[in-house]
């Protein structure tokens, strides 16, 4: 687990971050699969990085199933894979992306979640969220994945924000995943120019089931002006109190890697937005184990 995700997990629940050092949960969430697949595509040294992201999403979904209440797991996997392909293919336009070198924060190596840009003057971060309003933007700017990485590396961050929409019935609804086709001329559209809704004659189509190529789909998104709503790029400067943030990271990493099991945060176990991946064990006062479906991880830095 990269350092920013580990610290974010600790902010959510210190026991969850403690468990994440040793145990991988039985099943990743759809969003976890999406992010991992997109990052795989961005860093893949292949001609078609979009297809690489799609294949990786299907692999992750099949390796350990998916943490979801939905019953159509194959349909969900195909949906996530199609979205991963479109995102990776759209935001990467050239050479593969790379991670910067790990640096030391106190006694602990900082494992980056950000990417280099080919320059020494800035780094990149990918943020996927249900929507990007003012409150969410503020939370993003002060997150460990953005503010923490910027403080540690002393560089401003170009944040690529992807709006997914809410997931309902196993699907996200956003311009990368769904559109409308005219019943006669079969033109692909995303919104009406007068701001109204499409009537019942228009057929709603999903990316994973439609016959449009990626180029045709993206061209239609651009023509309807929805690409700018689906992907925004924000620049976050190096925090004014970067040294304080680095000291805080060092202190928190000391506690995360320290001995002893932290107290549980019971109100977090079944959080509606982000239910804890260790909720099948911790609320029952049981340690994660291979018998309960968890996968043991190699001992990490700082662990005896």
- Alpha-carbon gap, residue 247 to 253, rounded angstroms: 10
Q: Which of 252, 58, 223 is nearest to 151 (CA)?
A: 252
Kind and range of the H or E element at 8? helix 3-12
Q: For 269, phi and psi rounded to 5 degrees?
A: -60, -45
For every one of its 304 residues, what pLDDT tens digit does the chain have, with 9 covering 90 and above? 789 999 999 999 999 999 999 999 999 999 999 999 999 999 999 999 999 999 999 999 998 889 999 999 999 999 999 999 999 999 999 899 999 999 999 999 999 999 998 777 899 999 999 988 899 999 999 999 999 999 999 999 999 999 999 999 999 999 999 999 988 888 999 987 766 778 778 899 999 999 999 999 999 999 999 999 899 999 999 999 999 999 999 999 999 998 788 998 888 899 877 889 999 999 989 999 999 899 999 865 444 4
Cα dihedral value 113, 228, 77, 2, nearest 10? 10
**Phi, psi angles (nearest 5°) of residue 131:** -160, 160
102 φ, ψ to 5°?
A: -65, 145
How far is Cα of residue 81 from the mean position of the Cα atoms in its chain? Answer: 13
Answer yes or no: are the C-beta atoms of 25 and 9 closer than 8 Å. Answer: no
Q: How would you classify the pairing of strands 123-129 and 157-163?
A: parallel
Of 149, 170, 183, whose CA–CA distance to 61 is shortest? 170
Beta bridge partners of 303: none
Query: Residue 185: how many CB atoms within 10 A of its CB?
Result: 6
Compute CA distances 36 → 80, 158, 217, 222, whole Å.
11, 19, 23, 26
């Amino acid at each position: 687990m990269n350092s920013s995700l580990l610290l974010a997990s600790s902010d959510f629940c210190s026991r969850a971050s403690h468990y994440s050092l040793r145990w991988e949960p039985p099943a990743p969430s759809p969003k976890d699969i999406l992010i991992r697949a997109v990052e795989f595509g961005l860093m893949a040294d292949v001609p078609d990085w979009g297809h690489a992201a799609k294949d990786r999403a299907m692999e992750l979904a099949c390796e350990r199933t998916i943490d979801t209440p939905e019953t159509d797991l194959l349909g969900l996997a195909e949906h996530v894979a199609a979205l991963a392909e479109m995102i990776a293919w759209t935001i990467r336009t050239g050479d593969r992306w790379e991670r910067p070198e790990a640096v030391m924060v106190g006694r602990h190596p900082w494992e980056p979640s950000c990417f280099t840009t080919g320059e020494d003057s800035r780094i990149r971060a990918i943020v996927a969220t249900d929507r990007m309003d003012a409150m969410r933007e503020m939370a993003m700017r002060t997150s460990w994945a953005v503010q923490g990485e910027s403080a540690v590396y002393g560089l401003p961050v170009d944040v690529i924000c992807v709006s997914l929409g809410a997931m309902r019935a196993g699907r996200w609804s956003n311009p990368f995943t769904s559109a409308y086709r005219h019943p006669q001329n079969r033109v692909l559209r995303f919104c009406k120019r007068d701001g109204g809704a499409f009537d019942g004659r228009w057929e709603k189509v999903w990316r994973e089931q439609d016959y449009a190529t990626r180029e045709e789909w993206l061209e239609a998104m651009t023509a309807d002006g929805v690409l700018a709503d689906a992907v925004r790029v924000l620049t976050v400067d190096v925090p004014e109190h970067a040294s304080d943030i680095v000291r805080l990271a060092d202190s928190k990493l000391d506690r995360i890697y320290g001995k002893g099991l932290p107290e549980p945060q019971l109100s977090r176990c079944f959080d509606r937005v982000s239910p804890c991946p260790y909720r099948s064990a911790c609320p029952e006062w049981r340690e994660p184990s291979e018998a309960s479906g968890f996968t043991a991880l190699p001992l990490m830095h700082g662990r005896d």
